[in-house]
Amino acid sequence: MTNNVHDDVEAYALGALDPDEATVFEDHLHTCERCRSELASFAVVRHALDTIELPPPMRLPPAVGRFGGERKFAPWWRNLAVAASLAIVAGGAFAGGVIRGHAEDAPEVAVSGMVAGAVEDFRADRGGAHLRVLVGPHREQTAIVLAGLPTPSAGRGYQVWINGQSPGMLRRARNGVETLILSGDRVSQAYRIGVSDEPAGGSPKRTTPSIIAVYPHARLAS
């Protein structure tokens, strides 16, 4: 609380006083005509702020909103946290593709060689989807790997977006893992790497909400 209770009028008008401070200030208002007058003068600010409309309320998380119905998912937030502790995608799902050795699994072979020596490794898990972004040794390649999503519907595919621009579509292997290999280090300058469901040939702009994303340089701890 400030030493001078008169100085709290602006914060009180904004609703920014701690409860005990607000109580003291309200008691003070009974005896201070100047503060009552000041407080009344800030009504215009409150009314003005009230007219600001924010974007629509947050959409339902994809696991709830998009894939509901036939396919049942665990709560989106739990899946995210569960997967984070399992160290899945590359270590688990990839292995199957490599062992089987299908021709269409070739990207996974490349990725499997990057896992051990990866210099960057970011993961996100959301609503049953698991995204992993790896930068290989010497930063010569970046692998974007997605698992846990259903096969895209006819004419659709999963498209990668880095800072709002797309380097291409993910390619689906028989084991259901989707992969995109890019040359160079695509992570160091990325603030966001995400995936969305788009037309199979790719879209010049993202047309559907992001399914999952990693934020390579964002602290997510308090």
Partner 1 sequence: MNRGSRGVCTGDKSAAEGFDDRFLVLAVQRRDESAFEALYRRHASAVFAVTVRELGDADLAGELTQLAFIRLWERAATIRVESRVRAWLIMVAHNAAIDVARQRRNTTTLEAAPVTISPDRADDGALKAQRSTAVRAALDALPAEQRQAVEMAYFGGLTQTEIAQILREPLGTVKGRIRLAMRKLRSALGPFQEEFA
Residues at the contact surface with partner 1, assessed by CB under 8 A: 2, 7, 10-11, 13-18, 41-45, 47-49, 51-59, 61, 75-78, 80-82, 84-85, 126, 162-165, 189-192, 209-210, 213, 215-222
We find the least distance from the C-beta atom of residue 71 to partner 1, in angstroms, to be 19
Comparing CB distances to partner 1, the nearer of 47 and 138 is: 47
Comparing CB distances to partner 1, the nearer of 112 and 196 is: 196
Comparing CB distances to partner 1, the nearer of 88 and 173 is: 88
- Going by the DSSP 8-state scheme, the letter that residue 143 receives in this structure is E
We find the least distance from the C-beta atom of residue 121 to partner 1, in angstroms, to be 17
Contact yes or no for 133/120 (Cβ under 8 A): yes
Comparing CB distances to partner 1, the nearer of 14 and 109 is: 14
We find the least distance from the C-beta atom of residue 164 to partner 1, in angstroms, to be 4
Comparing CB distances to partner 1, the nearer of 84 and 109 is: 84
**Nearest residue to 143 (alpha-carbon basis) of 160, 127, 129:** 160
CB atoms within 10 A of CB 64: 13
Tokens of 185: 């280090």
Q: SS3 letters for 21-42?
A: HHHHHHHHHCCCHHHHHHHHHC
We find the least distance from the C-beta atom of residue 83 to partner 1, in angstroms, to be 9
Contact yes or no for 178/170 (Cβ under 8 A): yes
We find the least distance from the C-beta atom of residue 24 to partner 1, in angstroms, to be 14
What are the angstrom distances between the C-alpha of 199 and each of 21, 163, 165, 193? 56, 19, 15, 19
